[in-house]
Amino acid sequence: MTLEFLVASSIGVLVAGGIYLALRGRTFQVVLGLTLFSYAVNLFLFASGRLTLNAPPIWSKTVSDYADPLPQALVLTAIVITFGMTAFAVVLALRSFLETGSDQVDGDDAPCAPGDGPSADARREPRA
């Protein structure tokens, strides 16, 4: 197995998990999905500089091989912005929950749309 495969497959798995969670009906899961998705995106951006071992982009007269610094700089700010976005999403979710008493984001006032599985509180089955 190559490092490239490990990184690419990790990105794929994170994206899949992120998409699935983002499509759930409750705010917290959507936030989790966004988090996973952001990991994947940051990793992808970082990988666009290709994978380099033992060559940090710290300039020195005697060294000629460096990892690509540009994607690193972009990803560094992206990580911080990701935090800002996550924080905003979380707070938005919290505020809308406090305002409406529901953390559903399906757009229905009812907890679940008809035909969309169990809808009453009593039918919260202990399924994962």
Partner 1 sequence: MAVPLTLYTLVVLPFLAALLIAFGSDRGRALHSGLAAAGSALGLAIVLAVAGRVIGGEVLAVSAPWVPGIGLDFSLMIDPLGLMFAGLILGIGLLVVIFGHFYLASGEATGRFFASLMLFQGAMLGIVLSGNVLLLLVFWELTSLSSFLLIGFWRDKAEARQGARMALAVTGGGGLVLIAGMVLLGSIAGSFDLMTILQRGDIVQASPLYPVMLVLILIGCFTKSAQFPFHFWLPHAMAAPTPVSAYLHSATMVKAGVFLLARLWPVLAGTDLYTVIVTSVGLITMLLGAWVALFKHDLKGILAYSTISQLGLLVMLLGFSLEMAAVAAVLHILNHAAFKAALFMSAGIVDHETGTRDIRRLGGLAKVMPITAVVATIAAAAMAGLPPLGGFISKEMMLDETLQISLFGLPWLVPVVATVAATLSVAYSLRLAIHLFFGKPRDPVPHAKAHDPGIGMWASPAFLVILAVLLGLVPMALAGPLVGSVAGAVTGAPVGYLGLSLWHGVNLALGMSMAAVAIGVLLLWRHAGILRRYEAVRHLDAKEMFDRAMGLADRQVRKLIVATHTPSLQMMLFATFAVIVVLITEGALTGGGNLTGTRAGQPASAVAIIAWALLIAATIAVVLAQRQRFLVLIYISVIGLIITLAFVHFSAPDLALTQISVEVVTILLLLLALNLLPKTPPLLSSNPRRIRDVLLAIGGGLGVGGAAWAMLTRNPNDPISSFHLANSYSGGGGTNVVNVTLVDFRAFDTLGEIIVLGIAGLAIFALLDTTARGAAGARLRSWQEDMPHSPERHPLMFVMATRILLPLVLAAGIYIFLRGHNQPGGGFIAALVVAIAFLLQYLASGFDWTDARRRVGEHMLIASGVLIAMATGLGSLLFGANFLTSAFGYFQVPLVGEVELATALLFDIGVFAVVFGAVMLALAQLSQISQRAARAHAAQVEAQQQEDQR
Which residues ranging from 90 to 109 are in contact with partner 1 (CB under 8 A)?
Answer: 90-95, 97-101, 103-108
Sequence-distant (≥ 6) Cβ neighbours of residue 8 within 8 angstroms: 47
Nearest-approach distance from CB 41 to partner 1, in angstroms: 9
- For tokens 């039918």, name the residue: 123
Q: Should residue 122 be labelled a site residue for partner 1 when binding is judged by CB under 8 A?
A: no
Stretch 29-88 residues interacting with partner 1 (CB under 8 A) = 29-32, 35-36, 39-40, 42-44, 46-60, 66-70, 72-77, 79-88
By CB under 8 A, residue 111 contacts partner 1: yes
How long, in residues, is the chain? 128
Name the minimum Å distance from CB 90 to partner 1.
Answer: 5
| Cβ partners under 8 Å of residue 127, min gap 6 | none
CA–CA separation, 7 and 67 (whole Å)? 16
